[in-house]
Amino acid sequence: SQQGEEDPQALSIQEGENATMNCSYKTSINNLQWYRQNSGRGLVHLILIRSNEREKHSGRLRVTLDTSKKSSSLLITASRAADTASYFCALISNFGNEKLTFGTGTRLTIIP
Amino acid sequence: GAVVSQHPSRVICKSGTSVKIECRSLDFQATTMFWYRQFPKKSLMLMATSNEGSKATYEQGVEKDKFLINHASLTLSTLTVTSAHPEDSSFYICSARAGDLSNQPQHFGDGTRLSIL
């Protein structure tokens, strides 16, 4: 399967704490992307990290990629109530298939 | 940033009705558009990929005669659920990509919640 598996499935933390979500996959990838989905809405693109990159930052977000372990993590620092959402990793494989395959998602709840 | 508009946001209709969902890229030309289906608290399942001016490519298990996709221009793709039944009730989301490169992010519409009575 080219689908990513996310861990944990659900995470609840206090506002101000850091949240870390992990994504593991089995295939060789071209790039890996993280998206956020608020309840009942579409997805918002957060960060794209290419297979030759190890870390990327965007504001309070930090994404790491370890291709040897076939895993990625998304760190949200100084969480806010507005960060409450589902977070999905999605990957593009190297097998000539340009389809974005989504992981199972992590449901993040920030407690005010 | 790139904006994708999806319409309608919610549809409630009787069994047997055909429903059309529109997906428009508002400020960029979308070479490729994607249609997904999402069940409650689940991930997105790709239904089909559409390229402007050509036939859509459907994923295994998705009935192309049931889910008609048209990508007539670089800014518009439509998904028609024909003769919808209660099992077609779901959240349908479209996305668009500006270029042909897979290292471009996809931009998503806000989804359409379809409820078939």
Question: Per-residue pLDDT for chain B (117 aa), expressed as one digit of tens each?
Answer: 679 999 999 999 999 999 999 999 998 888 889 999 998 888 899 999 988 878 899 999 999 999 999 988 889 999 999 999 999 999 999 999 877 666 778 899 999 999 999
What stretches of A6-112 show up as alpha helix (H) in DSSP? none
Cross-chain residue pair A42–B109, CB shorter than 8 Å = yes
Question: What b/e string do you get for B73-101 counting C-beta neighbours within 10 Å, with b at 16 or more?
Answer: ebbbbbbebeebeeebbbbbbbbbbbeee
What's residue A98's pLDDT?
73
Give the model confidence (pLDDT) of B41-70 as tens digits.
888 999 999 888 788 999 999 999 999 999
B9 contacts on A by Cβ (under 8 Å): none
A45 contacts on B by Cβ (under 8 Å): 105-108
Give the model confidence (pLDDT) of A6-24 as tens digits.
889 999 999 999 999 999 9
Q: How far is CA B27 from CA B59, B63, B74, B75, B110, in A?
A: 28, 31, 11, 9, 16
When pLDDT is cut at 50, 70 and 90, the band that residue A96 belongs to is low
Mutation target among A23, A41, A61, A101 for the B interface, most CBs of B within 10 A: A41
Chain B: nearest CA to A72, how far in angstroms?
Answer: 17
**Are B94 and B21 in contact, with CB atoms under 8 Å apart?**
yes
